[in-house]
Chain A
Amino acid sequence: MNKIMLIVLAVAMIVILISLIMLLNIFHTPSAEISPTTSKPLSNVLLQGAGSSLVYPQLNEWIQRFYTQSGIKISYQSVGSGAGLSMFFQNVTDFACSDPPLSKDMWKRYEGRVMQIPWLAGPVAIIYNIPELPKDAELKLDANILAGIYNGSIVYWDDDRIKMLNPDIANMLPHKEIIPVYRTDASGTTEIFTTFLYKATNGAWSRDLVGKTVNWPVAATGRGIGGKGSEGVTQTVIQTPYSIGYVEWSYAILNNLPTASIKNAAGRFVKPSEKSVAEALANVNIPQSPLDDFSNIVFESVYASGDNSYPITAVTHIVLWKKYQDSSKALALAKFLRWVVDEGYNNMIQGYVAPPQKIKNLLLEAANILEKQVAS
């Protein structure tokens, strides 16, 4: 009896496994079968996106406005640039938002199929929590000091190098250990911040320590704390006295946190502002087509020339396919891109800067490419 049972068991098991695999394949196929002639009403379309937490507050605002005007739903998961690109390339989402553009290798792999547009700009602010300092005090920092803080060689807030830059508040700086806060998830903000450290210190901050995730030297001393997402870093800085962190400016504004002035390429100390970001952007070379390689743009846009340029300025990208199997998605995305140019940029929330005209043109061109695909 037991033998029969075992045979039945084995057979049934195989049947179930096969049917499970078939089930998965069934899920896999339908999206490819949709013919371009079926024109669904766009209001039934749901666009899924994921990625950068930098754009989240602004994008959320846009999504709600766009929905009331067009009926097209957009879902956006603020999971970080790395996770956003992961999901996009696994075809789980329709678009991704990433602070840094695709790396050269990545772009080569998808060349001609993927589009990117640096559609929003914003500064990365250095926030700090020093209870002794009055709210209106100006803390001045430069790349070398930030590098020292994050590699662990500058330990106390009253370090001579910090005092030298800040004669006005030198005697207010406490003899307390600095607690650097960094991102633990793969983050474009980290890439921008570390690229700035690398570019502005002439390599004193090593090339190996540049990227979306960094093996922070300060973590090995036990003084550093990791935070997940810009949310996590901001929260940690608020809760931890004598800490310092890097987040997008909007997070600093929304939480009313003091931001440091940073020394730019012209030798001036500049705070993040719409003006200082716009000036930095004006000095950056931007590729001609959304299908081009953007991988140099991070290095270009930090520590840019210009007297009043904010040195840790970053652009953040929307990443799209050139072709979508579901044509209604392509049309909806095109519509969204046009809407952003026409209306979105007139509804900026504080902390974000609308890009110059040359970038608006890129968005319109991307919309054209998407629509052309459907028409053909």
Chain B
Amino acid sequence: MYSWRKLKDRLFLALVLAISIVAIAPLIHLIIVTMLNGFSVILNAGLGFFTENPPTPTSKNVGGIAPSLVGSILLTALSLPITVFIALFASIMAVEFPNNPLSIAVDVVAKSLASVPTIVVSMVVYLLVVVPMGRFSILAGAIALTIVSLPYTYTYFSTYLRSVPTTYREAAFAIGMSRWRAVINVSLPIIRRGFLVTILMTMARILGETAALLFTVGRYRTGVSFSVLSPSDAIPLLIFDYILTPYKVFQEVAWGAATLLLIAYLIIFIVAKFVIKEVRL
């Protein structure tokens, strides 16, 4: 009897271990094959991978992904501050005045927004921004990205703000600080690490989002565009378009771009890990 229980315990451990390995195997395989496929492409293309335009289907050279790279950077630069700004203040509101009807509404809305399919966001932005403006643009793409990442950023911020012990805030009120001062002088300094990680993870999300860009940013790949009001491209969109083509040279570009995206993400993640021990998404 005793040994049967022991054996069951052992078998259970073996099972748990085996399935866990299956669960993380895709990640490892994915990283390895992406890097294997991508690195040779980037090495072949050399520095040109960062400065040249994508190839034509018939060309022998891989070319580069400069338009998409610049587009991705501009999109992030435009969307990240707006997202962080809105999410931070909305979450301060929700945490500081939890019983206010507006705060409750915002909390509910953030959760609903998180379940809006990102492609729906893309359709709506196309309808309300691209068509009235008469063109695809980085601005439209950035608006879509902001809508997509807002609920996540809001959730991080409010989780971190709620984790500030009430005793600290009560102490601040006791010495006559207003709520505003208490947030600035007490809550924010306490969560500064969380603040940084939130910004980093928002950045990762914006960099990797594809579906929100499908009908918003355009696919301008024949040159680098620096204007916010003109069409551009993004790395995930380039990968999405190129991976489905039968052209070998396009697929190579897609793998190279994916490797770049993966490395960017890994760097962001590792930096975030240095700042704080646990990253919750």
Listed in ascending order, the chain A residues whose CB lies under 8 Å from chain B are 2, 5-6, 9, 24-25, 27-28, 31, 46, 48, 56-57, 60-61, 63-64, 67, 73-78, 90-93, 228-229, 231-232, 234-235, 238, 251, 254-255, 349-350
Contact B246 A56 (CB under 8 A): no
Closest to B224 in A: A73
Docked CA distance A57–B55 (Å): 10
Please name all residues of chain A whose beta carbon is closer than 8 Å to the beta carbon of B51 when the two chains form the complex: none
Closest to A9 in B: B102
Known: A2-B101, A60-B56, A254-B58. A24 touches B246 (CB 8 A): no
Contact A77 B132 (CB under 8 A): no
Known: A60-B56, A63-B222, A92-B131. A231 touches B246 (CB 8 A): yes
- Most B Cβ at <10 Å: residue of A56, A75, A235: A75
Partner of B129, one of A24, A57, A63, A350: A24
Docked CA distance A232–B58 (Å): 17
Known: A24-B128, A27-B133, A238-B246. A64 touches B53 (CB 8 A): yes
Contact A92 B130 (CB under 8 A): yes
Main secondary structure of the interface of B (DSSP, over half): loop
Interface 1/0 per residue, B204-234 and A, CB below 8 Å: 0000000000000011111101000011000
Contact B134 A28 (CB under 8 A): yes
Known: A228-B244, A231-B245. A48 touches B101 (CB 8 A): no
Contact A75 B220 (CB under 8 A): yes
Contact A74 B222 (CB under 8 A): yes
Please name all residues of chain B whose beta carbon is closer than 8 Å to the beta carbon of A74 when the two chains form the complex: 222
Please name all residues of chain A whose beta carbon is closer than 8 Å to the beta carbon of B100 when the two chains form the complex: 5
Given A27-B133, A61-B58, A90-B131, output 17 extra A-B contacts at Cβ < 8 Å: A5-B100, A9-B101, A24-B129, A24-B132, A27-B129, A46-B220, A46-B230, A48-B231, A60-B56, A60-B222, A63-B222, A64-B222, A77-B218, A78-B241, A231-B247, A235-B245, A254-B246
In the assembled complex, the CB of A342 is this many whole angstroms from the nearest CB of chain B, namely 20
Please name all residues of chain A whose beta carbon is closer than 8 Å to the beta carbon of B244 when the two chains form the complex: 228-229, 231-232, 235
Listed in ascending order, the chain B residues whose CB lies under 8 Å from chain A are 53, 56-58, 100-102, 128-136, 218-223, 225, 230-231, 241, 244-247
Contact A28 B132 (CB under 8 A): yes
Please name all residues of chain A whose beta carbon is closer than 8 Å to the beta carbon of B230 when the two chains form the complex: 46
Please name all residues of chain B whose beta carbon is closer than 8 Å to the beta carbon of A31 when the two chains form the complex: 134
Closest to B231 in A: A75
Docked CA distance A90–B128 (Å): 12
Docked CA distance A78–B136 (Å): 15
Contact A64 B56 (CB under 8 A): yes
Please name all residues of chain A whose beta carbon is closer than 8 Å to the beta carbon of B58 when the two chains form the complex: 57, 61, 254, 349-350
Contact A61 B128 (CB under 8 A): no
Offer 5 A-B interface pairs, CB within 8 angstroms, sorted by A: A46-B220, A75-B219, A92-B134, A251-B246, A254-B57
